[in-house]
Amino acid sequence: MTGGNAIRGTRIGSGPTGESERGETAPRQRVSYWCANDHESRPSFALDAEVPETWDCPRCGLPAGKNQEQPPPAPRAEPYKTHLAYVKERRSDEDGKALLEEALQRLRARRGES
């Protein structure tokens, strides 16, 4: 004869699970979204919730829209920029030369050079 435990797989003090314990769920609506790869995802939203225009596709990560014929375009990937590239966007070559000369003058003055 095998012995059994009537509460196997449950925690001490845990009550029954289900709708009666947690209360009623809000009425739901399912909305279809399509990405550029023609994947369909159907998340559910509460009826009184604001439904977003776009949703990230769980299969490929592209943005998905409600219109199957015209899904949102894939975001443009920006290439990696170095720190120097960002500096060059903010400063012209003349500004850079002026800043370099100013820094060199301060360095020479600190060293006691003329």
Could you read off the pLDDT of 32-56 as tens digits, one per residue? 999 999 999 999 999 999 999 999 9
CA proximity to 29, closest of 51, 41, 45, 53? 45
pTM: 0.52
DSSP letter string, 47-105 = TTSPPPSEEE-TTT--EEES-SSSPPPPPPPPPP--HHHHHHHHS-HHHHHHHHHHHHH
pLDDT tens digit string along 95-109?
989 999 999 999 999
CA proximity to 26, closest of 45, 52, 50? 45
Per-domain residue ranges of the chain = 26-65, 78-114
Encoding tokens for residue 100? 């370099």
Task: Tell me the mean pLDDT in the region 54-78.
Answer: 92
Q: What is the CATH number of domain 26-65?
A: 2.20.28.270
